Structure 1
């Protein structure tokens, strides 16, 4: 199936909803330091508050336990990630990681070049999130041409997915 034959997804957005005990610190970290633009914010008279931050294109990455373990081993050298980890693609993972650590994140692992052609750094961040900031070293087309970057046995994604490998 070529890309022009792929039907549009019925899902228009992936939204991760996170409860933050220190709301102000979490908003400051993700909006002001990481740089996610504010899309909307709501509050009520009873003190309830929420902000929705635009994180660009969203994907849902589903990994089996062996893959999760392999990613932790490559990026960190040991098992650290909970079942859910949030990853942000950035232009410069080293500079972003430094900026996030200076703003209060705890570095779990420094920027590491991965076998899937990205530079990934791991952090524990506000709102109790374990995050990865990653910088792609190859274009989606370049990755798609490599062995092991697809979902069918031949190594190419049957859906024509733009995303070739794990984070």
Structure 2
């Protein structure tokens, strides 16, 4: 049995609405899944906070927040722990479409508290977590723009990115640095570049770089598109689904900068979130 980490926390509470508001408004967490008796908040590293309503009878034995230990196979891990005398509560539960995990099983540890073993698709699809060997602390992508004030409005007011530094030299040269977490570098060969243009827009667009912004669902694509339109970014079409099951909306700034808002298929999103959680820390 291998424990990959503690990536889930569950809480059943009689103050459900207050706890939901605390997670959403005070902590700023985004709703990842809405269920009949619970809500799941997703965190940037792929982990989750799940808040259960008092009407959720399946978790009536929760009298404190419960931590989830991520394993490859819940049944194998449970059998191994039962052989060591660990007490489990109920049977192994298999997830449904809106479940955060694929399977889980609750246990009582020697401290008297409840914990839960959970398996997830990303961990059953690869044997080992992604390992990074990067030798730097920060990667900066520099873009030359004609109107820096307009560009700032797009990135700050449109995309909601935070300015971490800005400067003006004595002769008037200006620069602005935005903090971006998480981020990724994506490389396409020419054929892939043309394939993406055709799939997202139905035609080829000049240029050798573009910005791609991942959001959670189509509603977020439309919401962000409206915000970007308010700062001068125009839609180049409608939301389309590519053959690789991404929903995409192509937009462009007044200077012709290409911007794609997109969603990932559910399984691919889980894999990316797991990868981001590993890549967030530089190896020693």
**TM-score for both structures, normalised by structure 1:** 0.74
Q: For the residues of structure 2 that align with 1:128 and 1:15, how far apart are their CA atoms?
A: 21
Shift of residue 161 of structure 1? 5.7
1:35-89 alpha-carbon deviations (Å, 9 max, x no partner): 1111221222221221111232222211122211111111101111522111122
What is the aligned-residue RMSD (CA, Å)? Answer: 2.5
Asked if 1:31 corresponds to 2:156, the answer is yes
Asked if 1:105 corresponds to 2:230, the answer is no
* Equivalent position to 2:170, from 45, 49, 52: 45
CA contact (8 A) 1:26 1:126 kept: no
Q: For the residues of structure 2 that align with 1:35 and 1:89, how far apart are their CA atoms?
A: 13
- Runs of 4+ aligned residues of structure 1 deviating over 4 Å after TM superposition are 141-144
SS of residue in 2 equivalent to 1:14? coil
CA contact (8 A) 1:29 1:126 kept: no
* Equivalent position to 2:192, from 40, 60, 67: 67
In terms of fraction of residues, the more strand-rich structure is 2
Deviates more, 1:31-40 or 1:126-135: 126-135
* Equivalent position to 2:209, from 69, 84, 92: 84
Distance 1:72 1:134, change over 3 A: same
1:90-113 alpha-carbon deviations (Å, 9 max, x no partner): 341122122212321121122222
Distance 1:81 1:100, change over 3 A: farther
SS of residue in 1 equivalent to 2:226? helix
Distance 1:119 1:55, change over 3 A: farther
Bigger relative CO (Cα 8 Å, ≥ 6 apart): 1
Aligned to 2:128: 2
Q: For the residues of structure 1 that align with 2:269 and 2:236, how far apart are their CA atoms?
A: 31
Shift of residue 142 of structure 1? 5.4
**TM-score for both structures, normalised by structure 2:** 0.46
Length, aligned pairs only: 146
Asked if 1:121 corresponds to 2:246, the answer is no
Report the structure number with the largest CA radius of gyration. Answer: 2
Asked if 1:137 corresponds to 2:265, the answer is yes
Structure 2, unaligned runs of 5 or more: 1-126, 277-284
